Amino acid sequence: MLKIKSIEYGLYPRSEHIRLSISKWERNALDHKSLGKLMDTEKKELLKMFNRAGVNYYTDPLINWQDILRMVASMSLDTPFEKISRYRETNTFYRQPLIESYPRLHEISDEDSTPDSHLPGSMYISDNSENYTYFLPGIESFVNMSYVSPELKTERIQDSLLEIYLDLIKKHRMKRILLFEPYPDKSMYDGYSHIFDSAQVFCVRYGLADSSFGKGNNARPFSMIASNKKEFRLAASHCEVPGIALMNSQNTYLEKPDKLRKDVAEVSSSLKLDQVFVTHTEYLDFLPHVIAAKKVEVLGKVGE
């Protein structure tokens, strides 16, 4: 009997209360500490909601990250952010990191934060449950989404980010991680094997191909989440438990749980799998807050 489990990850839309509070903070009508407390409180409530909905695995809602790179970039780069860039083929934009020297981990404080870097609040809020999963932008995507000075070597930048990630894994005692790769390289970064050895890793990766995987036998995540049905079979051959992004997170249509379960069963029927993960096609920040909550409820009913 095929077991289907659900995953919710990435940036989650902010409530109207938080949006208004950020606006006050930008006008200096609300101090850093107060906004940080509001952010952390909303994160805790969202984690409770994910849990109540029955989602099997979920990440921090990241409502104070601004975009998927901003928090990590703020604590690893010394130089300002570059131009505003479009995220994939969407109406969403992100602040492009400017890599002019090799990244290194340094502490950031609320007093140093500005609207152009990161927002106040904890990098992560964990509910200490077996469902909680830490989120990190993929190392390949981090580099590919940044402006990199020509004199720097890509491999060394990746290795520097790997050291930062391993430090973060140790600092936060990460047992389960979701790596998000919307802009991956053609071949998987071999250094990932160190992360795969350190934690249980779900890797959401776009554009899977045989060349997407490193040469080392250890360069395998626990789960590879394919972005479409065509790539699902390949994902299944390169991890312990494959997954697929089926729920559309760029429109307000609410899928039926039974239909999603049927689609999962059909795409995996020829592979004789014991378990499959299902998630959404992008992070949910593209949706209105109320619709995102309904999508989470649907996702919770898909998993077992």
- The mean per-residue pLDDT over the stretch 57-63 comes to 97
What contacts 193, CB < 8 A, 6 or more positions away? Answer: 214, 216, 218, 219, 220
Q: How many CA atoms lie within 13 A of 207 on its CB side?
A: 12
Helix (H, G, I), strand (E, B) or coil at 60: coil
Q: What pLDDT does 216 receive?
A: 59
Share of the chain above pLDDT 70, in %: 97
Contact 82, 96 (CB under 8 A): yes
- Position of tokens 């593209």? 286
Contact 5, 56 (CB under 8 A): yes
For the CA atoms of 304, 129, 252, 18, what is the dihedral angle to 10 degrees?
Answer: 170
Q: Provide the whole-model pTM.
A: 0.94
100: how many CB neighbours lie within 10 A of its CB? 15
Domain range 3-302, CATH class: alpha beta
Dihedral over Cα of 95, 144, 8, 172: its sign: negative
Give the bridge partners for 147, in sequence order. 98
Which residues lie closer than 8 Å to 242 by C-beta, 6 or more apart? 223, 224, 225, 226, 232, 235, 236, 268, 271, 273, 276, 277
239-262 residue pLDDT tens = 999 999 999 999 999 999 999 999
Residue 214, pLDDT > 70, answer no
- Give dist(CA 88, CA 69) in Å, integer: 14
> What are the beta bridge partners of residue 247?
280
Tokens of residue 70, six digits: 């901003």
Phi and psi, residue 71, nearest 5°: -65, -45
Terminal CA-CA length for the chain: 12
* CB 61, CB 46: distance < 8 Å: yes
Residue 118 pLDDT grade (very low, low, confident, very high; cuts 50, 70, 90):
confident
pLDDT tens by residue, 132-177: 999 999 999 999 999 999 999 999 999 999 999 999 999 999 999 9
- pLDDT on residue 217: 53
